[in-house]
């Protein structure tokens, strides 16, 4: 669960308004002094000089800053555990940047399916009620009995 939050924070830190490219070469991380607000204001595709060093070392203070932004607390052991994992994650983003997408045609995506006709949502009565009740493990009167999934007293 922790790594998902950190990935979300990294993605937020690296996204550029109006751009689909990341400005991170392989093995680099955002500078420690970045906040997401500053990043959105000060960075554009022409200002990639802050990422020129491919040997940027992800420091424990970077991990703590990400944890703070994700509203999670990490022990010193967890900081040391996540430091190399986050460094590797930054490297993966750098590898994604190297992929040439200029020759790739746009794919079918959920946001461009708006013109597909949908079937009409009409209720259809179920004809073989006895077969349905015969297929379930437990029945109580005219109802199918299922296990409880919610606790009575939520604490």
- Whether the CB-CB separation of 67 and 86 falls below 8 Å is answered with no
- At residue 150, the pLDDT reads 76
Higher pLDDT, 69 or 26: 69
Question: In terms of Cα–Cα distance, which of 54, 51, 57 is closest to 83?
Answer: 57
Question: Which of 34-48, 51-65, 105-119, 121-135 is predicted with the least confidence, judged by mean pLDDT?
Answer: 34-48
- At residue 108, the pLDDT reads 56
Using 50, 70 and 90 to split pLDDT, how confident is the model at 36? Answer: very low
Which strand (E) or helix (H) includes residue 80? helix 76-97
pLDDT (average), residues 30-36: 46
The separation between the first and the last C-alpha atoms of the chain, rounded to the nearest angstrom, is 22
Model confidence pTM above 0.75: no
The per-residue b/e assignment along 85-100, b for 16 or more CB within 10 angstroms, e otherwise, is ebbebbbebbeeeeee
Task: Give me 51's structure tokens.
Answer: 């990422």
Percent of the chain, pLDDT > 70? Answer: 54
The residues near 95 (Cβ < 8 Å, ≥ 6 apart) are 26
Q: Which residue has the tokens 């950190």?
A: 6
Chain-centroid distance, C-alpha 1: 11
Q: Which residue has the tokens 């006709």?
A: 117
Residue 99 pLDDT exceeds 90: no
């Amino acid at each position: 669960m922790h790594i998902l939050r950190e990935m979300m924070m990294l993605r937020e830190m690296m996204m550029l308004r109006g751009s689909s490219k990341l400005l991170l070469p392989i093995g680099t991380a955002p500078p420690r002094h970045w906040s997401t607000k500053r990043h959105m204001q000060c960075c554009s595709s022409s200002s990639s000089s802050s990422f020129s060093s491919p040997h940027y070392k992800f420091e424990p203070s970077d991990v703590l800053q990400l944890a703070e932004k994700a509203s999670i607390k990490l022990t010193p052991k967890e900081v040391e555990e996540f430091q190399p994992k986050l460094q590797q994650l930054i490297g993966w983003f750098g590898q994604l940047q190297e992929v040439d997408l200029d020759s790739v045609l746009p794919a079918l995506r959920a946001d461009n399916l708006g013109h597909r006709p949908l079937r009409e949502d009409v209720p259809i009565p179920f004809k073989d009620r006895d077969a349905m009740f015969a297929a379930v493990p437990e029945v109580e009167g005219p109802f199918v009995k299922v296990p409880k999934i919610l606790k009575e007293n939520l604490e």
